[in-house]
Amino acid sequence: MERHPDDAILVRRCLAGDADAWQALAEAHRRRMIALARRILPVQDAEDVVDAVLADLWERRKLIGYEGRSSLRTWLGAIVLNSALNARRASASRATLVAAVPPAPAAAVDSTAARQLHTVLRDAIASLDAAMRTLVLLYYEQDLSLDAVGRLFGLSKSTLSRTLKDARERIRVEADRLSRERCGVPLAALREGIDLAQLDLDLRAACGEPGNDPSHGVSKKRDG
């Protein structure tokens, strides 16, 4: 039974050649797809990747791969991040490529400490290599399970679990360095005594869309 029937209906209309349905899909998702691609690519490259993805979905009918087991938003996000990663690899020789992570508005944060924590974690995530950063974004922002990510990249769940564990540790170490450098206190002090083993809570907030309140991040118990 499909979990997202409205998305599935829209996709079926698109596959049937309904131009209005396709326009509705593109208008609903293109902006956010570009925002996701910008986590890995500069603005213009991100827009090009998203336009190529949308064209491919329409012209080659690749929307047929959507089965309704996740939201269309999540499914499209995973495709865009994968395409952005491939584009990043193809342009590896361009030293100017960096992840464009928009700053969180101060108004969206409840306290100075929370804002500082959000910033150092966001920048620590951006410091990861492209493949590891994409895994973190797929897992924490897109809410994809390790099984789903494995199917996307053709990797085993155990391999992804080890990579995600390594990514969390690298983020913790880099965030601690940034916290000491910028704020004069260790990461633990910014987190107000919360056990660093619960770093998932902060990662979910730091991976969220710009404007989300990082003080309200909630982590579900998941695999990996």
CATH code assigned at 26: 1.10.1740.10
Average the pLDDT over each of 97-111, 118-132, 199-213 and give the range with the smallest value: 97-111
Mean pLDDT (whole number) for 100-129: 67
- Does 79 lie in the same domain as 127? no
In a domain, 147, yes or no: yes
Please say whether the beta carbons of 141 and 218 come within 8 A: no
- Does 190 lie in the same domain as 116? yes
Can you give the pTM of this predicted structure?
0.55
Residue 199 is part of which domain span?
106-216
Which of residues 90, 119, 150 is at a domain's end?
A: 90
Mean pLDDT (whole number) for 167-184: 90
- Does 170 lie in the same domain as 131? yes
Residue showing tokens 């085993």: 156
- Does 125 lie in the same domain as 197? yes
Per-residue pLDDT band for 106 (boundaries 50, 70, 90) equals: very low
| Torsion angle of the four alpha carbons 33, 36, 37, 41, in this order, in degrees rounded to the nearest 10 | 150
Query: How many domains is the chain built from?
Result: 2
Q: What is the pLDDT of residue 189?
A: 79
In a domain, 37, yes or no: yes
* Closest by Cα among 130, 137, 116, 104 to 180: 116
Percent of the chain with pLDDT over 70: 75
Residue 170 CA, chain-centre distance (Å), reads 17
Integer CA distances (angstroms), 178 to 110, 114, 118, 123, in order: 21, 14, 12, 8
Q: What is the pLDDT of residue 201?
A: 57
